[in-house]
Amino acid sequence: AQKVTQAQTEISVVEKEDVTLDCVYETRDTTYYLFWYKQPPSGELVFLIRRNSFDEQNEISGRYSWNFQKSTSSFNFTITASQVVDSAVYFCALNTGGFKTIFGAGTRLFVKA
Amino acid sequence: SQTIHQWPATLVQPVGSPLSLECTVEGTSNPNLYWYRQAAGRGLQLLFYSVGIGQISSEVPQNLSASRPQDRQFILSSKKLLLSDSGFYLCAWISGADTQYFGPGTRLTVL
């Protein structure tokens, strides 16, 4: 069975703090894709990153970075020097090449000024 | 580039009334299309998906239905709304690289 677990329901930080959002996935497939999406208060899910199972390189995009570790089945997301605009719900997701994408329950991030 | 549209943006309907939400995609052909519902403060629930015209797969049996009359059009319907149908409805399409892209959503309130 495929599953995505985001154990952190809510996280609250003060602006400029670094914050890491955890994501643990389960699948028996060797080929799969992992994603992170951001859902700001407006509601639309914004795609942030896609990573395939054969590429364990960490990725950095501005203040965002992603740590993919197959050994622990984790795909964690770090925001450096958080800003109020980072306040949103963040979803981790898994697709094994089929029609369905499995989403985690989401982590709500509050960044206080 | 691809664009996905949803309308209406918000909707307030009485219990027992019908529903029709529309989703259209531009800039791609033969996409896989999806309807999700998100209850307030909750995660995403997959309702329907479609891999082609007239092909609908239902994930959750309920009083909702979906149709795909054209390649890039996906419609979510109900004959009689329930209070529990309130939520945020998101349409999505998937690219060849398995990345789902979402529309702006429809916020439905059933009173």
Q: With CB atoms and an 8 Å threshold, state whether B43 touches A35.
A: no
* Gap from B34 CA to chain A (nearest CA, Å): 9
Tell me what percent of the residues of chain A surpass a pLDDT of 90.
88
Tell me what percent of the residues of chain B surpass a pLDDT of 90.
78
Q: With CB atoms and an 8 Å threshold, state whether A100 touches B107.
A: no
Express each pLDDT in B23-77 by its tens digit.
999 988 889 999 999 988 888 999 999 999 999 999 886 789 999 999 999 999 9
The reply to whether B40 touches chain A by the CB within 8 Å rule is: no
Residues of chain A with pLDDT under 50: none
For residue B61, the model assigns a pLDDT of 63
How many whole angstroms separate alpha carbon A16 and alpha carbon A4? 28
Token reading at A68:
């993919």
Partners of residue A42 in chain B, C-beta under 8 Å: 104
For residue A99, the model assigns a pLDDT of 84
Per-residue buried b or exposed e for B74-110, using 16+ beta carbons within 10 Å of the residue's own CB: bbbebeebeeebbbbbbbbbbeeebbbbbbbbbbbeb
Express each pLDDT in B72-93 by its tens digit.
999 999 999 999 999 999 999 9
